[in-house]
Amino acid sequence: MYTQCPECLTVYKLDARLLVPACGCVRCHRCDTVFNALGTLAEQLPPEPFTRLPEHALDQDPPLADVAVFRPRPPAPEPGPPPLVVDEAVAAEAPAGEDFSQLTFTPAFARRRRRSWRTFAWVSVCSVLLLGLLAQLAWAERDVLVADATAGPMLARACDLLGCRLPLVAAPDRLRLLARDVEQHPTVRDALLITASVRNDAAFGQPYPVVTIVLSDAQGQKLAMRRFRPEDYVGDTAIRTRGLAAGATTAMVFEVQDPGQRAVAFAFSFD
């Protein structure tokens, strides 16, 4: 940058650091005049010949510095007492110029208490919805839960305490045939009376099964077959509804038509 002494018109080349100590004032090396170098400060010299450098007015408003390259981070505020919040309803009703010394204030801990209550209400609603969803899933998978070796006994004890009854789960493979017998029907001609003793080895109650009886000859050829539904051999509706309790044993009686002397064997199956 360049500047010019106003007395002797000598032009000097300056470094910006020379303008800092005296706020832009410098001393002419030739005539010893002290002058404000900012008045004729120029980035480059005009084409020769020239006598004076253009002068700048120094009494204008300061220009705006708008291209920021660095901004320091503000210091963290020191911890202090929580601010007091003016009740908005009271502040809105108060006219201008009125004494605000009687205004009520809402402390920060009261606002935190309201937020805590809203959070508690939201968590409670979510918990109820989650329990409802789990209950729906448990009802959809009730057969699996009741038949489970761990969950089944727990549900049974809970139902005993609550006075409810678990749904019956069909598990025909857990039914054991303890004894069976066949004889001529005492009152019906050309009929057989077949009896069977069956035990429920499952750890849970199950409905009465569909029983299939197959009569065969000495060579194993099937001569007759019949399927008995629970209502065919259990006449009492209440007993059918209760089903076979865990570990319970029941006697089943079936009436079938006698296929003749060739029927020497019979077999049971449960569905």
Domain boundary pick from 58, 90, 105: 58
- Residue 244's identity, in one-letter code, is L
Is 131 a member of any domain? no
Query: Mapping DSSP to helix (H, G, I), strand (E, B) and coil, where does residue 253 land?
Result: strand
pTM above 0.85, yes or no: no
Domains contained in the chain, number: 2
Residue-level pLDDT, tens digit, the chain, 271 residues:
899 999 999 999 988 888 888 888 999 999 999 999 888 888 888 888 888 888 888 777 777 776 666 677 777 777 766 655 555 554 555 455 555 555 555 566 566 667 778 888 888 888 888 888 777 766 676 667 667 767 767 777 777 777 777 778 888 999 999 998 888 888 888 888 899 999 999 888 899 999 999 988 878 788 888 899 999 999 899 999 889 988 999 999 998 888 877 777 888 899 8
Domain boundary pick from 58, 91, 106: 58
Q: What domain range includes position 22?
A: 1-58
The Cα diameter of the chain in Å comes to 155
Is 262 a member of any domain? yes
Is 119 a member of any domain? no
Domain boundary pick from 40, 58, 76: 58
Q: Are the C-beta atoms of residues 196 and 177 closer than 8 Å to each other?
A: yes
Separation CA 210–CA 270 (nearest Å): 6
Is 233 a member of any domain? yes
